[in-house]
A = this chain, B = another copy of it.
Amino acid sequence: MLENITHEALCGASVLQLKKICEQLREEIFQTVAVCGGHLASNLGVVELTVGLHRVFRFPEDKIVFDVGHQCYAHKLLSGRADRFFTLRRRGGLSGFPKRAESEYDCFDTGHAGTSVSAALGIAKARDLQGKHFNVIALIGDGSFNNGLVYEALNSLRILHTNILIILNDNGMSISPTVGGTHEVLDGLRNGSSRGDVALFERYGLTYMGVCNGNDIEELLPALENAKKALRTGSVLLHVATRKGQGYAFCEREPDRTHGISPAQTGKEYSAALGEELLALADRDERIVAVTAAMTDALGLRPFFDAFPARAFDVGICEEHASVLSAALAAGGMRPYYAIYSTFLQRAYDEVIHDICGQGLPVTLCIDRAGISGADGETHQGVYDLSYLMPVPNLTIAVPKNIAEFRLMLRESVNMKGPLAIRYPREGAEGEASSLEIGKFEVLHSTMSDIVLYAAGERCISIGDRVVRAAHEQGIEVSLVSARFVKPLDEEMLLGRRERYVITLEDNALCGGFGAAVARLLSPSGRRVLSFGCRDVFIPHGSVGELMHEFGPDEDAVLRAVRECHARG
């Protein structure tokens, strides 16, 4: 275990000693991620930069906002958390992201791309208004730099009249390689071919400094000192070039595959099925195109991108744009599949409402990592999508019971006249599925009982299945239905079935989700609806199993409810 390293120790260290510290940090990060999972390549890339920042600046008086935040491991190790670093991403342990609640060294929570410049501006402006004096830094990667929010923040530098230091950590990668116009400018600046583009930053009121080798502590220290000095008279952008995965050959060679490391998966991945099905569909149907916001591999789209490069679009970390682009491709006659994590779709909510659903366009939203997603914690749980999508008119929302049914839904999607969302977790079982009718539930287990369980999605059906068996062993019969379309609801079945006790299961926020919709529908008839889903708190990091038990629909609680219903008769 690494000992805590103080600011004073860093200030007193020689360059050689600093390099040694960098090596130790890199080793600690590598070892910990190997066990706990986490973001490897990006953290290895910023070790020298973090050491340099902790020497040149004085935290926590000075403030640093980590864009996205997954590159904060060295910062955590240098801010009194080395002794707990082995708990990284575990329930009750250190978060893999900055957390104000965890340390005063974390001044602003992050998780999604592009917020750091806005956040730094707000903190700096609050400082000015209170007559305080400290430095505020936004550390942002070139991948995040494509996100529109960054431009909104840059645009207001001149409005807010405050000083911040933006460190642009340029490693040429989002999760996938960074793409597009901004990237080409940065490339030009890095290789010296387009110094004129410095105007890009200066017009926003930034003094541009760089490019500095961010993996060379000797080059970094004076660059950071100079930036700190320049910060006295205005805002500064320091362009730092780093190498994602620096120090480990495998990571350097394959940074996209080592972006995030997860403990070994036990089930099959839905994303692989997405890739397979899209490929097959696209072979037969030239209208099919795929859209992603910098997540090609994680979403399973690589085979499609390889086979149909002209019909595959990775637009960088630009969820809003990807959403409108998908809508417009559909308006132009194509059949777009926009694959995205549940949590990131929050970024494109307005565009889902207006551009896709408002126009009733046949875009298929493939919503991956829906439900509790585990070790990334609060900012990555996919537990709101049903709540925010169900009120959107024109949208059909499908929740497959297994991967085989997911495949069926994808095949059926080609015939949809309007927008479709399919939400699914990372892993599941292949299973079996036969037919599918839009808007119709499927009865999985039918009894003459007065209790019925409606479960939305594979995880909840698994819980439901276990509850049905456990109840049966206790002499209580319960029916089980797969609520495979939560919009439109299968009102015919819901209203037509006669059970007095209706239990709903979803791995989505209880508020405004599937259960609430069922309760609203059945309440006038006096039937009793008991809803189980995610609690109304931000769900922290941990394993999916732990979190489902503690924050999600819990098997034991459902079984207790079944027994109570039975007892009341």
Give residues in A with beta carbon < 8 Å to B: 100, 107-112, 114-115, 118-127, 129-130, 146-160, 179-185, 194, 196-197, 199-200, 203-205, 286, 289, 310-311, 313-316, 318, 320-321, 324-334, 346-347, 349-351, 353-355, 357-359, 378-379, 384, 387-388, 390-394, 509-513, 515-517, 519-520, 522-531, 536-538
Contact = CB atoms under 8 A, between A and B. Distances in A.
Contacts of A329: 122-123, 125-126
A126 B333 contact: yes
A512 B332 contact: no
A196 B200 CA distance: 10
B154 A147 contact: no
A123 B328 contact: yes
A157 B513 CA distance: 38
A354 B111 contact: yes
State the oligomeric state as a number of copies: 2
A510 to B, nearest CB: 7
A345 to B, nearest CB: 9
B350 A346 contact: yes
Nearest to A156: B315
A159 B314 contact: yes
A547 to B, nearest CB: 14
Contact of A203 (B124, B158, B185, B333): B185
A379 B358 contact: yes
A315 B122 contact: no
A390 B511 contact: yes
Contacts of A391: 384, 387-388, 509, 511-513, 536
Contacts of A314: 159
Contact of A180 (B120, B156, B179, B354): B156
B524 A528 contact: yes
A329 B394 CA distance: 38
A152 B146 contact: yes
A125 B329 CA distance: 7
B152 A321 contact: yes
Contacts of A388: 349, 387-388, 391, 512
A359 B183 CA distance: 32
A126 to B, nearest CB: 3
Nearest to A521: B519
Contacts of A149: 148, 320-321, 324
A529 B520 CA distance: 7
A108 B538 contact: no
A101 to B, nearest CB: 8
A108 B359 contact: yes
Nearest to A352: B346
14 contacts: A123-B328, A123-B331, A125-B325, A149-B321, A152-B321, A155-B181, A156-B318, A384-B392, A388-B388, A388-B512, A511-B512, A511-B520, A512-B516, A524-B528
Nearest 9 pairs between A and B by C-beta?
A148-B148, A122-B328, A126-B332, A512-B512, A152-B321, A152-B318, A118-B324, A155-B180, A181-B204
A306 to B, nearest CB: 17
Contacts of A387: 387-388, 390-391, 512
Contact of A522 (B349, B523, B525): B523
A392 B286 CA distance: 40
Contact of A127 (B204, B332, B523): B332
Contacts of A513: 391, 512
Nearest to A201: B181
Nearest to A121: B325
B156 A325 contact: yes
A239 to B, nearest CB: 15
A198 to B, nearest CB: 10
Contact of A531 (B120, B204, B393, B520): B520
Q: Which of A346, A359, A393, A531 has the most chain B CB atoms closer than 10 A to its own CB?
A: A393
Nearest to A108: B331
B520 A515 contact: yes
B155 A328 contact: no
Given A109-B359, A149-B148, A150-B148, A115 B351 contact: yes
Contact of A152 (B148, B523, B525): B148
B109 A358 contact: yes
A152 to B, nearest CB: 3
A171 to B, nearest CB: 17
Given A331-B100, A520-B531, A156 B316 contact: yes
